[in-house]
């Protein structure tokens, strides 16, 4: 199993293809398999060197007890680029992975060609969103409460509170939770529950509103048409200097899984347009 030593951690990394670098970044509680399941790795490998990796604490990567803010993950990402010999890369992130991609673009714009932000919400822009109006959230809330985990509309973003409750479920409620989430998902959550991940993901960690608005590289805000975070998409298009929006039909928050064909079509069209706009002879 391929691992690389990055920032003092062992990260699980997968590669495909040759050419300019594209790096794929999954969200919290997920892993890099999302990029194989939606065929992003396979499709992009025809034109790019594609790298997907498990974030610290996820998948087959090492699980440190702390260091899970978007700034920490962005530091891992930039260190991974150093290890790969990738001076610049196109970043594609889903959910919190998109927050990480944006943070890296804000910290090191000279190392980022473009960014695809797939359905993120940003802690600094939390005031824009009201997930209580999202039917999928209400279904999840009811299922969680049936298993003994209370999640409120007011604190929907508080993974730390959610993780703490999962960690302290009774045996009976843990069985219900496993039945609802599945054994692999439960094991991933329990591993993260013992870290600072839940609390770290809800803080700005330096990715302030001004820092978000400072991102000047080409950006695609790629959201499900029924995403709970469309207000964030509108904000990004309005306030970033080079940002366009695309909506994935029939998708909510997990467009790469809910409509992979449309997701990939929007992703590849954007990357091709950015490449076409590059000066002749610049093949980065």
Q: pLDDT tens-digit profile of 91-128? A: 999 999 999 999 999 999 999 999 999 999 999 999 99
Residues 195 and 214 both lie in one domain: no
Residues 153 and 237 both lie in one domain: no
pLDDT of amino acid 278: 78
pLDDT of amino acid 11: 98
Q: Give the global pTM.
A: 0.90
pLDDT of amino acid 185: 76
How does residue 175 score in pLDDT terms, banded at 50, 70 and 90?
Answer: confident
More confident residue, 163 or 144: 163
Residues 124 and 135 both lie in one domain: no
Whether 230 shows a pLDDT value over 90: the answer reads: yes
Percent of the chain at pLDDT above 70?
A: 89
Residues 139 and 220 both lie in one domain: no
When mean pLDDT is compared over 137-146, 159-168, 236-245, the highest value belongs to 236-245
Rounded distance between C-alpha atoms, residue 117 and residue 92, angstroms: 6
Whether 194 shows a pLDDT value over 80: the answer reads: yes
CA distances from 278 to 55, 78, 91 (A): 30, 23, 16
Number of domains in the chain: 2
- One-character DSSP codes across the chain: --EEEETTEEEEEEEE--SSEEEEE--TT--THHHHHTTHHHHHTTTSEEEEEPPTTSTTS---SS--SHHHHHHHHHHHHHHHT-SSEEEEEETHHHHHHHHHHHH-GGGEEEEEEES---GGGGGG--GGG-HHHHHHHHHHHHTT----STTTT-HHHHHHHHHT--HHHHHHHHHHH-HHHHHHHHHHHTSSHHHHTTS-TT--HHHHHT--S-EEEEEETT-TTHHHHHHHHHHSTTEEEEEETT-SS-HHHHSHHHHHHHHHHHHHHHHHTSPTT---
Which of 150, 172, 200 marks a domain boundary?
Answer: 200
Chain mean pLDDT for the chain: 90
Least confident of 16-25, 90-99, 164-173, 194-203: 164-173
Rounded to 10°, the helix 96-107/70-84 angle is 70
Residues 84 and 18 both lie in one domain: yes
Residue 50 lies in a domain: yes
Query: How many angstroms separate the first and last alpha carbons of the chain?
Result: 29
Whether 160 shows a pLDDT value over 90: the answer reads: no
Q: Taking residues 153-167, what's their average pLDDT?
A: 74
Which of 200, 220, 239 marks a domain boundary?
Answer: 200
Which CATH number covers residue 71? 3.40.50.1820
pLDDT of amino acid 31: 95
Residues 16 and 113 both lie in one domain: yes
Q: Which domain holds residue 190?
A: 131-200
Q: Taking residues 145-160, what's their average pLDDT?
A: 68
The string of pLDDT tens digits covering residues 255-280 is 999 999 999 999 999 999 999 887 75
More confident residue, 125 or 172: 125
Which of 200, 235, 258 marks a domain boundary?
Answer: 200
More confident residue, 164 or 211: 211
pLDDT of amino acid 47: 96
The string of pLDDT tens digits covering residues 12-66 is 999 999 999 999 999 998 999 999 999 999 999 999 999 999 999 999 999 999 9
pLDDT of amino acid 4: 95
């Amino acid at each position: 199993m391929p691992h690389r030593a990055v920032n003092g951690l062992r990260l699980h990394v997968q590669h495909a293809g040759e050419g300019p670098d594209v790096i794929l970044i999954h969200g919290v509680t997920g892993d890099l398999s999302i990029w194989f399941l939606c065929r992003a790795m396979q499709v992009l490998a025809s034109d790019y060197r594609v790298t997907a990796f498990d974030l610290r604490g996820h998948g087959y990567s090492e699980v440190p007890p702390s260091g899970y803010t978007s700034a920490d993950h962005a530091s891992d990402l930039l260190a991974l680029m150093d290890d790969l010999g990738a001076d610049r890369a196109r970043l594609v992130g889903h959910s919190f992975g998109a927050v990480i991609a944006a943070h890296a673009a804000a910290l090191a714009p000279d190392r980022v060609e473009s960014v695809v932000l797939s359905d993120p919400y940003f802690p600094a822009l939390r005031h824009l969103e009201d997930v209580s109006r999202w039917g999928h959230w209400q279904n999840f809330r009811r299922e969680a409460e049936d298993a003994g985990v209370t999640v409120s509309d007011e604190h929907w973003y508080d993974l730390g509170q959610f993780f703490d409750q999962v960690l302290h479920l009774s045996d009976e409620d843990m069985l219900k939770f496993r039945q609802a989430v599945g054994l692999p998902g439960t094991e991933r959550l329990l591993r993260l529950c013992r870290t600072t991940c839940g609390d770290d993901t809800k803080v700005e960690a330096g990715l302030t509103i001004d820092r978000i608005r400072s991102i000047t590289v080409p950006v695609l805000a790629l959201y499900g048409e029924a995403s709970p975070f469309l207000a964030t998409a509108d904000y990004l298009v309005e306030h970033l200097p080079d940002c366009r929006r695309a909506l994935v039909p029939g998708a909510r928050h997990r467009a790469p899984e809910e409509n992979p064909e449309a997701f990939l079509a929007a992703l590849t069209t954007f990357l091709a347009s950015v490449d076409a706009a590059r000066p002749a002879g610049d093949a980065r």
